Amino acid sequence: MGLDEGTVSWQELLDESISRLQEAGVEDALISARRIVEEASGFEGAELVLHFTEPATKRCVAHLDSMMARRMDGEPLQYVVGRWSFRMLDLLVDSRVLIPRPETEEVAGWAIEEAQRFETPTVVDLGTGTGAIGLSVATEVEQSLVYLTDLSSDALAVARANLIGTGRAAARVTISEGSWFNALHQDLQGSFNVVVSNPPYVREDDELPAVVRDWEPGMALRAGADGLNDLLPIATEAIDWLVPDGALVLEMAPDQTQVVAEHCLAVGFASAEVRADLSGRARAVVARTPGGTTD
């Protein structure tokens, strides 16, 4: 592009960006161009339309150019713009973390519902990545105490940055590094009202779309031959960390839900319910420990 300051409007830049992305074969050229122009201009949604005729500064055009080059290279839009919305949060997202998925917003919702059964719930989000699930709980459930854990120090650096963005809720959040429950102090055993996790669950042999395989962190995705290497041990151990009538909320692939639900019952949970996401696909298991009124 390389246009001089004051010579080109945001409308022209948007049109040109759409054409460039289409020519480069980017699938969601319209959406990508729009988000990139929004990010470069600082105007979002209807605000951008109001400023369409304004000229872009040289600095903004340079920012736009660098984002366009990354998108045309195939990098996911979320990493290119560096932030993505998740429920009520605007999360920092980069290649150190998995991009939070829409179905995970529903999983976070189920964890929130489980937490709301208690007055001052203590909740842990294991393998938090951006912090999407745990920070949603902290933001949407007043009085909750939330722990975020991950094995990746890189991911936790992103979660920490997102924690700052939650304002007052941040005071109720603790971050710790380590493998699953090992990240937590032993004294916390038996004290969690909710354990929630979206662990890696992709089978070793499963083909991933190139954009996921080439750009997102492998350790956030793969979990052994059957994809159950993390799900089953988390379910087994969760029993020791939950209060009576506490809840385990686990995200997984549709064809893993039955096995995981049966495993939960086998290791001592009183109930294990499979939940479907908005597209109707079995997406999570919500299991409760004994001690509820129906036991």
Nearer to ligand SAM by Cβ, of 151 and 259: the residue is: 151
- C-beta of 156: minimal distance to ligand SAM in Å? 9
Report d(CA 264, CA 252) in Å as an integer.
Answer: 14
∠ Cα 60 130 142 (to 5°): 110
- 218 or 290: whose CB is closer to ligand SAM? 218
List contacts with ligand SAM (CB under 6 A).
Answer: 97-98, 100, 104, 126-130, 132-133, 149-152, 155, 179-180, 198-200, 219-220
Question: What is the torsion angle, in degrees rounded to the nearest 10, for the CA atoms of residue 219, residue 165, residue 78 and residue 41?
Answer: -160
**What is the smallest separation between the CB atom of 49 and ligand SAM, expressed in angstroms?**
32
State the minimum distance, in angstroms, from the CB of residue 113 to ligand SAM. 17
The residue among 137 and 220 lying less far from ligand SAM, judged by its C-beta, is: 220
Residue among 8 and 276 whose Cβ is closer to ligand SAM = 276
Q: Indicate the residue among 144 and 149 with the shorter CB distance to ligand SAM.
A: 149
Least distance in Å: CB of 37 to ligand SAM?
Answer: 26
Largest CA distance in the chain: 71
Ranges assigned E (strand) in the chain? 83-86, 89-92, 122-126, 145-150, 173-177, 192-197, 242-251, 271-276, 282-288
Query: C-beta of 66: minimal distance to ligand SAM in Å?
Result: 26
